[in-house]
Amino acid sequence: MSSLNNSIPVFYGDYSFNTGTLKQFSVLDYVIFAAVLVISAGIGFYHAWKDRKQKTSDEFLLAGRNMSPYPVALSLLASFMSAITLLGVPSEMYSYTTMYFWIGLGYFLVIAGATHIYIPIFYNLGVTSAYEYLERRFSRGVRTCASMTFVLQMILYMSIVLYAPSLALNAVTGFTLWGSVISVGIVCTLYTAFGGMKAVLWTDSFQTFMMVASLLAILVKAAIVVGGWQAAWDSGLRTNRIWFTDFRLDPAVRHSVWGMSIGGYFTWVAIFGVNQAQVQRAVTCPTLKKAQIAMWLNFPGLCIILYISCLIGMFMAAFYEKCDPMKAKFVDDPNQMLPMFVMDVLGDITGLPGLFVAGLFSGALSTISSGLNSISACVLEDVIRVYFKSHMRETRARLISQIIALIFGIVCLGLTYVASKLGNILQAALSLFGMIGGPLLGLFSLGMIFPWANKWGAYTGLFSSLFLMFWIGTGASITPPSYEKAITSIDQCNLTAFSNVTVAAIFTPNIPVPIERDVMYPLYTLSYMWYSTTAVFTCIVVGLGVSFLTGPSNPSELDPRLICPLFDLLFPYLPESILKHLRFGVNHGQVHEKKDDSDLEKESDLDKNGAEAAPGYALSENDVKVTDPDNGVHAYENLVATNDLYNKNGTLSVKL
């Protein structure tokens, strides 16, 4: 029933703690798993057929900017609450302590910051790619560098997301690991490439319900088997897992209150505030208000999935208190802990293990489809339109978007092998967001909050931040810091499924091999929760320094839509006389004058009468001249992005 590979058992159907035997997937379990793939593909191809007459890239990438906030909220939730969360959070709670609960506070700060600082700027600019902002604020080169950095981040992240549930399926069924990787990857790539954003949003909605249903099934049955919440709490106290009060300021502490709340904020706002996948979803709503509603509706969903996953981890720890599957070498990867637990507590109920695996793959499908769609938008808008075909037929643009999705779907499949070598998937994913997402957040924050930043500061801030974070991340992977884990035991393991040779290997102590640590080792002990924070401040400090050395931008000459009036948001009741100084010369609060046809004919990127468009912004027939009545400074507004804000007299106010 098991085979021997370096004295570690490899299972086809998971080992049962209760009986000492191996369990198998039933036919119904396979049917449920297959049904999720079929339904997801069906939704995608349905929308591809339904919208077959819609040939524009805007319809394909942004669903016509006319989506209800409810499916958008579910898609925002599903995109990054993936199989990594479903597998990684219970494993985290099992291996370490309950400090991870504090990330919920970080989520609240994240949604508030993303909804009211970053998303309004993207929405009011009417962008398809978030990186269009960087061209308007800095330069075309900055836009390209940031966009390609995002593409690298997403293909690596999608590879991790695809590998995680495939590993779980292999652990509980013996289904070929790479067979599931390829089958799921192909299904997801096809329905994303042909169905576009509408397919992604509606399949995400279905997959969100599948994730929650699978988590609830595990939680309820686990509580019954363990004996309720009190039994899990008592077990946590005995094994030193219950700990909520680590207020140490040391950034080397793996999880502290400050690391989870402040570090968690910078980690996750890089996702919900400036990540193309999330920005692209937000701007599919017809108005800014509805986009903000979608963002806030996402918050309770984040907390529900987070805390259910945490509770499952605590019940799992109580169940295996006297028989740690990792120490007993029943499994050799912490990401297989939850699948084993599922087979132990749900294996006797036909269909529920299949529901669990279906939930895992739903999380993977939603993330990969979101990633492929966002990569299509970036490559089309930030590379092809900018450098090759600025004016192309919409039918051709849509076809190119589909081809891009297919190509990067194949690339994602190839990189899944790399993901198989990363170990703890939750830490790996959040480290990735810190190492790459953090510098990107720093770049956007530099542009939106600090009006003095120029393109040279943007370049140096981004690349210095990336260099530092990859240095720390690479060093931490080569000489990983050691952290104290929860108490585990194998005193009551039922070993009837093992040979005598394997049992002897289990009880043979592992002698740690000394690791040579260089003088930079203290830098590598930085907690992964502080990666993004470190990256953001590095980018801002270096970027501002270089900007002032090379000649800072003049705030009064900037398009005010590119700058967030941060103090107006934080302190709206301050007197105008004070707020005016806290805008640092940026001209917020203009009157907009609609241009007539003769104006459009006379104006280009630089108005002959002295009115300047935002840097890198080509004027179109949808633009209006923006004039500050106090000093006569001109800028341009886009009618498509802000048509719903016009008053009857033809004027409007920019609302950030």
Model confidence over 461-494: pLDDT tens digits? 999 999 999 999 888 888 877 788 888 888 877 6
The owner of tokens 């912004």 is: 617
Q: Which carries the bigger pLDDT value, residue 418 or residue 136?
A: 136
Residues 6+ apart with CB under 8 A from 341: 90, 218, 222, 312, 316, 319, 320
Do 181 and 59 sit in the same domain of this protein?
A: yes
CA angle, 546 then 462 then 158, to 5°: 175
Residue 571 and residue 477 share a domain: no
pLDDT of 175 reads 67
Nearest to 323 by CA among 545, 491, 528, 141: 491
More confident residue, 160 or 417: 160
The residue among 59 and 286 whose pLDDT is bigger is 286
Let me know whether 569 and 522 are in one domain: no
pLDDT score recorded for residue 264: 94
Give dist(CA 323, CA 94) in Å, integer. Answer: 12
Give pLDDT tens digits for 318-342.
Answer: 999 988 888 887 777 777 888 888 8
In the three-class reduction of DSSP (H, G, I as helix; E, B as strand; rest coil), residue 648 is classed as coil
Q: Is residue 501 in a domain?
A: no
Question: Which domain does 634 fall in, by range?
Answer: 556-645
With 70 as the cut, is the pLDDT of residue 1 above it? no
- The chain-wide mean pLDDT, for the chain, equals 79
Tell me if 505 is assigned to some domain.
no
In a domain, 494, yes or no: no
Judged against a pLDDT cut of 70, whether residue 6 lies above it is answered with no
Name the more confident of 387 and 146: 146
CA distance to 126, 135, 543, 572, 592, per residue, from 463 (Å) = 27, 17, 10, 35, 38
Domain membership flag for residue 496: no
Which residue would you say has higher pLDDT here, 370 or 313? 313
* pLDDT of residue 405 exceeding 90: no
Mean pLDDT of 289-311: 94
Assign 413 a pLDDT band (cuts: 50, 70, 90): confident
Q: Decide if pLDDT at 613 tops 50.
A: no
| Residues 438 and 270 sit within 8 Å (Cβ to Cβ) | yes
Residue 547 is assigned to a structural domain of this protein: no
- Check residue 21 and give its pLDDT: 56
CA dist., res. 408 & res. 576, Å (int): 50
Per-residue pLDDT tens digits for 522-533: 888 999 999 999
pLDDT at 286 over 50: yes
3-class SS at 66?
coil
Region 173-192: mean pLDDT is: 74
- How long, in residues, is the chain? 656
Residue 244 above 50 pLDDT? yes
Q: Is the Cβ–Cβ distance between 490 and 328 less than 8 Å?
A: yes
Distance CA 616, CA 627 (A): 20
Give the Cα separation of 22 and 40 in Å (integer): 31
pLDDT digits (tens, 9 = 90+) for 69-106: 999 999 889 887 777 888 889 999 999 999 999 999 99
Q: Give the pLDDT confidence score for residue 470 in this predicted structure.
A: 92
**CA 256/CA 237 separation, integer angstroms:** 18
* Cβ–Cβ under 8 Å, residues 437 and 275: yes
Residue 498 lies in a domain: no
Report the pLDDT averaged over residues 390-406. 81
Average pLDDT over residues 635-655: 39
Q: Specify the pLDDT at position 109.
A: 95
Mean pLDDT of 197-225: 88
pLDDT of 165 higher than 80: no
535 vs 507, higher pLDDT:
535
Instruction: Please compute the mean of the pLDDT values over residues 179-189 and round it to a whole number.
Output: 78
218: CB partners within 8 A, 6+ apart: 312, 338, 341, 342, 345, 346, 356
Q: Mean pLDDT over residues 119-142, rounded? A: 93
pLDDT at 17: 53
Quick one: average pLDDT of 204-209?
Answer: 86
The answer on 622 and 482 residing in a single domain is no
**Strand 8-11 with 2-5, pairing:** antiparallel
Separation CA 71–CA 282 (nearest Å) = 11
- Residues 368, 374, 376, 378, CA torsion sign: negative
**CATH code where residue 295 lies:** 1.20.1730.10
| Rounded-to-integer distance, Cα 529 and Cα 430, Å | 7
Tell me: do 130 and 249 sit in the same domain.
Answer: yes
78 and 126, same structural domain?
yes
- Strand pairing category for 591-593 and 623-627: antiparallel
| pLDDT of 234 higher than 80 | yes
**Packing angle, helices 394-419 and 140-173, rounded to 10:** 50
- Please give the Cα distance from 221 to 293 (Å, whole number): 34
Q: Which CA distances in Å does 333 have to 380, 387, 425, 480?
A: 39, 45, 10, 17
Q: Is 18 helix (H, G, I), strand (E, B) or coil?
A: coil
Q: Is residue 652 part of a domain?
A: no
Residue 129 backbone class (left: φ over 0; alpha: ψ -120 to 50; beta: rest):
beta
Is the domain of 628 the same as that of 534?
Answer: no
Evaluate whether 6 touches 327 at the Cβ level (below 8 Å): no
C-alpha 424/C-alpha 254 separation (Å) is 14
- 526 and 574 housed in the same domain: no
User: Phi, psi at residue 635, to the nearest 5°?
Assistant: -150, -175
Residues 253 and 149 in one domain: yes
Give the integer Cα–Cα distance in Å for 308 and 86. 9
Which DSSP helix (H) or strand (E) runs through 151? helix 140-173
Q: What is the Cα gyration radius of the chain?
A: 26
Yes or no: say if 347 and 339 are a contact pair by the CB < 8 Å rule.
no
**pLDDT: which is higher, 162 or 530:** 530
Structure tokens at 388: 């090759």
Give, in order, the Cα–Cα distances in Å from 321 to each of 16, 22, 154, 304, 325: 15, 20, 37, 26, 10
Q: Which residues pair with 8 in a beta bridge?
A: 5
Is residue 507 in some structural domain? Answer: no
- Residue 39: its pLDDT value, please? 86
Percent over 90 (pLDDT), the chain: 37
- Residue 610: the pLDDT is 38
pLDDT higher than threshold 90 for residue 512 = no
Question: How high is the pLDDT of residue 620?
Answer: 40
Task: State whether 355 and 437 are in the same domain.
Answer: yes
Q: Cα–Cα distances in Å, from 63 out to 66, 78, 191, 227, 450? A: 7, 18, 15, 48, 33
640 and 536 within one domain: no
| 549 pLDDT more than 90 | yes
Cα angle 518, 527, 143 (rounded to 5 degrees) comes to 100
Number of domains making up the chain: 2
pLDDT the model gives residue 424: 62
Q: Is pLDDT of 618 > 60?
A: no
For the whole model, what pTM was predicted? Answer: 0.81
Predicted confidence (pLDDT) per residue in 598-611, tens digit: 333 333 333 333 33
182, 60: one domain:
yes
Token look-up 């000459």 returns 557
HSE of 223, CA atoms in CB hemisphere, 13 A: 12
Is residue 253 predicted with pLDDT exceeding 60? Answer: yes
pLDDT of residue 55: 60
pLDDT the model gives residue 182:
79
Work out the percent of the chain whose per-residue pLDDT is above 70.
78
**Residue 4: pLDDT over 70:** no
Q: Which pLDDT belongs to residue 121?
A: 95
pLDDT at 26: 78
